[in-house]
Amino acid sequence: MGNSAAARSEPPSPAGTEASSRFAELRSLLVGPEQRQLRALQARLDDPGTQAREVSEVLPQAVELRTNDPQLTRALGPSIEEGISGLVRRDPRQLADALFPVIMPAIRKAIAATLSGMLESLNRTLEHSLSWQSLQWRITALRTGKSFAEIVLLNTLVYRVEQVFLIHRKSGLLLQHAYAPTRTDRVLGASLTSALGSVQDADLVSGMLTAIRDFVQDSFRVSEHESLDTLQVGELSVWIEQGPHAILAAVIRGTAPSGLRATLQEALETIHAQFGDRLESFTGDSSAFDAAHLVIERCLLSRYMTESKRRPPFLPIIATAVLIAFGVWAFMTWQSRARWNRYIESLRAEPGVVVVSAERTGGRYVVSGLRDPLARNPATLLSSHGLDARQVDGRWQLYQALDPSLVLARARELLHPPDGVALQLAGSVLTASGTAPVDWIDDAVRIARAVPGVTRFDSGNVIDNSAKALAREIEAAALLFTKGTSTLTAGGDDALSKQIERFRMLDRLARAADRRFKVDVIGEADADGPPESNLPLSRRRADRVRAALAAERFERIEIAADGIGSSQAARANSTDDEKQRNRRVSFRVTEAVRPGGSTAR
Amino acid sequence: MTQKKVCLLGAAGVGKTSLISRFVSSIFSDKYLTTVGVKIDRKTVSIGSEEMSLLLWDIYGQDELQTVRPSYLRGASGYLLVADGTRRATLDTARDLQQTAESVVGNVPFLLLLNKSDLDKEWQVDERSLWKLVEGGWPVVKTSAKSGAGVEEAFVKLARNMAGM
């Protein structure tokens, strides 16, 4: 320092200058290198850029050495927080883009946990359902170790991702497109043609999808991170997943499980991780994303009902057989029950049968009630209704029914009407018509009143007819006499006995019907003798017969006798047979005057 | 094949839809224009030995009642401003739309199409005004959707500009 001051105050002498020069030279020789080093060090210390470079070289190692030092954390914390806050304020998207690959798996995990909770809730709900199908699914869940709800979803959800569009978010241009050939396509080998056709339109669809998303976002003024994520048209739906630079749109037919959205998100994350830079600087060349085709192709998932059910082949056969057997059993049961019902209906309609109860007990049909002995036997109706008598127990108590048909049947059974007699029932009046023997009429009048359901027996018609028939027989049976006498011809006594028997029956009929008859006994003679002798002869013949009849003392028959001579006899030149027929006694029967007045023949 | 998003902008009734309906392949009906406000069609142009696929966003015409949705412009590599040469006011609308487009997509290639060039007698845009636009850096092409004049050239020119040629 003192030398320097001297140099500034006094000009150096030539000798001094030379000495100084030599000293400097000496100094340069002795400490020159050190001086240069010192100057270099000085320059390094004075240059902030150099200092920064040198510090940056050791900073990572220094920070690494103090990683666990709280002092360092405290020292750096405010700066880092300030830096991040500033970044968020300036451009939040930058941070969102940076965090996207990290945060999406975390979100997905959270959603998966929520879904798991929902599945458990659904599981509990379904546990209360007791349908046959739910029982099957429960067995499957036990067998496979999956939750019941998962099995339910597997069996109920059928879907197919038909197309996947990878779209540049900013421009709406199509980056990649994958589509699933339908089963028909695979069968016909038409996949290539369809693929070309689909790709041609996919560019426009991609753009329109983007436009619609923008339209919805603009219309409802939602934030940039909220956007249209689902379109639903009939059984087609479009699921849209949005990333920072690209959008994945999946066209789905049917109902897809919610897990598919996680698949789409995963694919989108992969694409952003692999093609992030290219997406950011995309200028329209989609060939840069050819490798992404494989990624979106993995999203072409599908589930078919037939594919998810790997049942053993014999199960459908057994199930079919069981169904058929059940169907046959049900049909036969229904048929048997229908027959039984028809049988019971017919029993209820049957006269003389009262069904009290009809039921099925212990595999057998049991019917009980009241039955008239004259009614149809219920057992005989079984076969006509297709029922087996061995399966039916009939428990019947006998009774007498008052059905008209049964009353009539009972009357017939008790009265045994002979041929020629008809019985009819009108109300409670039993009427007999036709011609009947007197004995039957007597019995019928007596018995008919005792038939249940019959209050009166009308035998008038049958008595009339029988009386008329008897009268005709009496009138047809003339008694023949020998010539000139009142003596009956040979065999005449027998004829007279038979005639007397007819009179007896007529008398009984008259008594039964409370009537009276008059019989005129008319004697005749042939024309061989003179009329004055024939008339007395004819009267004697009539008296002879009347006497025989009077001996019987008929209560209801009046007998009158008279002779008419030969007034009605054949001429003298008649044959002997004709003359014999004139030697006779004939009868004429009329009904006597009734107390009311009239007389009937 | 390179794809580019191209927007068609212009006042209502200038003939945007007519311009593209005869020269592009389309799968959507025009009803999208009145519902969603946009219809997308494709136009493929050849540039030298290369082909370029233009995805044309035909955006519903701006008028007093409806303005263009800026979101539809996002990501466009270029745009066509369409004005009706027989209605001078549509040129002003084109100017407004150009500013809107530039604010959304930045300085990307664009063309001004003065449509209905076949209607000479009703023409209202004078050459001086046109010259001013050209001087201002606006490439202008006269087109006629009716006759097809200038349409193909306009698409090719825009494509070449977008390709940096």
pLDDT in tens, A314-335: 777 888 889 999 999 999 889 8
| pLDDT bracket for residue A170 (50, 70, 90) | confident
For residue A301, the distance in angstroms to the closest alpha carbon of chain B comes to: 27
Is pLDDT of A303 > 70? Answer: yes
B65 — contact with chain A (CB < 8 Å)?
Answer: no
Most confident stretch, A181-195, A295-309, B8-22: B8-22
Q: Mean of the pLDDT values across residues A466-478? A: 91
Helices (H) and strands (E) in chain B, counts: 5, 6
Arithmetic mean of pLDDT, A432-450: 87
How far is residue A506's CA from residue A426's CA, in Å, rounded to a whole number?
29
Question: By the CB < 8 Å criterion, does A174 face chain B?
Answer: yes
SS (H, E, C) A277-328: HHHHCCCCEHHHHCCHHHHHHCCCCEECHHHHCCCCCHHHHHHHHHHHHHHH
**Nearest CB neighbour to B69, from listed A201, A214, A284:** A214
What is the DSSP secondary-structure string of A187-223? Answer: HHT-HHHHHHHHHHHHHHHHHHHHHHHHHHHHHHT--
Give the pairing type, strands A246-254 and A159-168: antiparallel
Residues 6+ apart with CB under 8 A from A505: A438, A470
Nearest neighbour of A214 by CB, restricted to B4, B32, B72? B72
- Give B27's contacts in chain A (Cβ within 8 Å): 201, 204-205
A contacts of B32 (beta carbons < 8 Å): 208
3-state secondary structure B41-109: EEEEEEECCEEEEEEEEEECCECCCCCCCHHHHCCCCEEEEEEECCCCHHHHHHHHHHHHHHHHHCCCC
- 3-state DSSP helix/strand/coil percent for chain B, to nearest 5? 35, 30, 35
For residues A194-214, average pLDDT: 70
Average pLDDT over residues A124-128: 55
Instruction: Please tell me the distance from the alpha carbon of residue A457 to that of residue A434, in angstroms, as a whole number.
Output: 14
- Cβ-contact A218, B64 below 8 angstroms: no
Helix H or strand E segment including A20: helix A14-46
The closest of A506, A505, A497 to A477, measured between CA atoms, is A497
Q: Is the pLDDT of residue A198 over 80?
A: no
Question: In this complex, do A171 and B76 lie within 8 Å of one another by their Cβ atoms?
Answer: yes
The CB density around residue A285, as the number of other CB atoms within 10 Å, is 13
Task: Quote the tokens at residue A448.
Answer: 């008919």
Q: Are B39 and B28 in contact (CB under 8 A)?
A: yes
pLDDT single digits (tens) B53-97: 999 998 887 776 667 888 899 999 999 999 999 998 899 899 999
Reported as a single tens digit per residue, the pLDDT across A79-120 is: 888 888 888 888 888 778 878 877 777 787 777 767 766 766
A231 part of contact set with chain B, CB < 8 Å:
no
What local confidence, expressed as pLDDT, does residue A363 receive? 78
Does residue A389 contact residue A373 with C-beta atoms inside 8 Å? no
Q: Which of A169, A205, A207 sits opposite B57 (nearest CB)?
A: A207
What the block records as the tokens of A226 is 């909220």
- What mean pLDDT is predicted for residues B137-153? 89
Q: Is B40 on the interface with A (CB under 8 A)?
A: yes
Query: Residue A399: is its pLDDT beyond 70?
Result: yes
Q: State mean pLDDT over A239-249.
A: 90
Top-confidence residue, A254 or A408: A408
**Beta bridge partner(s), residue A518:** A558, A590
Chain B residue numbers touching A168 (CB-CB < 8 A):
75
Give the pLDDT band of residue B102 (cuts 50, 70, 90): very high
Question: Would you state the pLDDT for residue A102?
Answer: 74
pLDDT category of residue A187 using cuts at 50, 70 and 90 = very low
Question: Do A172 and B75 count as a contact with CB atoms less than 8 A apart?
Answer: yes
Q: Residue for token digits 């057998």?
A: A364
- In 3D space, the residue among A393, A357, A363 whose CA is nearest the CA of residue A378 turns out to be A393
* Bridge partner list, B115: B84
Query: Given this model, what pLDDT does residue A7 score?
Result: 40
Whether the predicted pLDDT of A542 surpasses 60: yes
Pick A284's closest partner by Cβ from B3, B28, B72: B3
- Tell me the pLDDT tens digit for each residue of A560-588: 999 998 887 766 567 888 888 889 999 99
CA distance B29 to chain A (A): 12
B contact test, residue of A169, A210, A287 with most B CBs within 10 A: A210
Phi, psi of A425 (to 5 degrees): -120, 125
B134 touches chain A (CB under 8 A): no
Q: Is A208 on the interface with B (CB under 8 A)?
A: yes
CA A226 → CA A174, A214, A272, A362, A540, distances in Å? Answer: 21, 11, 19, 71, 150
A286 contacts in chain B (CB < 8 Å) = 3
Q: Which residue did the predictor score with more confidence, A130 or A245? A: A245
**Where is average pLDDT lowest: A72-81, A184-193, B88-97?**
A184-193
Q: How far apart are CA A567 and CA A214, in angstroms?
A: 146
**In chain B, what is the straight-line distance between the N-terminal and C-terminal CA atoms, in Å?**
17
pLDDT score, position A156: 63
Is A505 a residue whose pLDDT tops 80?
A: yes
**DSSP 8-state class, residue A597:** S
ipTM greater than cut 0.90: no
Show the tokens assigned to A99: 């965090």
Distance (Å, whole) CA B164 – CA B158: 10
Q: Which pLDDT does position A13 carry in this prediction?
A: 64
Q: CA A137 from chain center: how many Å?
A: 24
Rounded CA-CA distance A587/A591 in Å is 13
* Dihedral pair phi/psi, residue B47, rounded to 5°: -125, 100
Residue A127, pLDDT score: 54
Question: A300 to chain B, minimum CA–CA distance in Å?
Answer: 25
pLDDT at position A494 over 90: yes
- Mean pLDDT on A191-199: 38
Q: What pLDDT score does A126 carry?
A: 58
Chain segment B2-51, per-residue pLDDT in tens: 899 999 999 888 888 888 876 776 666 666 666 678 888 888 999 888 88
Q: What is the mean pLDDT of residues A247-260?
A: 86
Q: Give the model's pLDDT for residue B17.
A: 84
Q: How far is residue A97's CA from residue B134's CA, in Å, rounded to a whole number?
A: 41
In angstroms, what separates the C-alpha of A200 from chain B's closest C-alpha? 10
pLDDT above 60 (res A190): no
**For range A516-532, the mean pLDDT:** 90
Contacts of B2 in chain A (CB under 8 A): 283-285
For residue A89, what pLDDT is reported? 82
∠ CA(A275), CA(A278), CA(A283), 5° rounding? 145
Query: What is the average pLDDT score of chain A?
Result: 82
State which H helix or E strand residue A241 sits in: strand A236-242
For chain A, say whether B32 makes contact (Cβ under 8 Å): yes
Nearest Cα neighbor of A538 from A527, A552, A549, A553 is A527
- Helix axis angle, A460-476 relative to A438-447, nearest 10°? 160
Question: Could you tell me the pTM of the whole model?
Answer: 0.44
Q: In this structure, are strands B2-10 and B50-59 parallel, antiparallel, or unpaired? A: parallel
Beta carbons of B3 and A286 less than 8 Å apart? yes
Dihedral in degrees, nearest 10, Cα atoms A285, A278, A222, A161 = 70
- Binary contact (A173, B27; C-beta < 8 A): no
Whole-angstrom distance, CA of residue A257 vs CA of residue A253:
12
CB-based contacts of A511: which residues, under 8 Å, 6+ apart?
A555, A556
For residues A396-405, give the mean pLDDT. 90
Q: Can you tell me the distance from the alpha carbon of A219 to that of A212, in angstroms, rounded to the nearest whole number?
A: 10
Instruction: State whether residue A227 is helix, strand or coil.
Output: coil
Q: What is the pLDDT of residues B39-57, one digit of tens each?
A: 888 889 998 888 899 999 9
Residue A207: which of A237, A169, A243 has the closest Cα? A169
Nearest to A156 by CA among A309, A263, A301, A262: A309
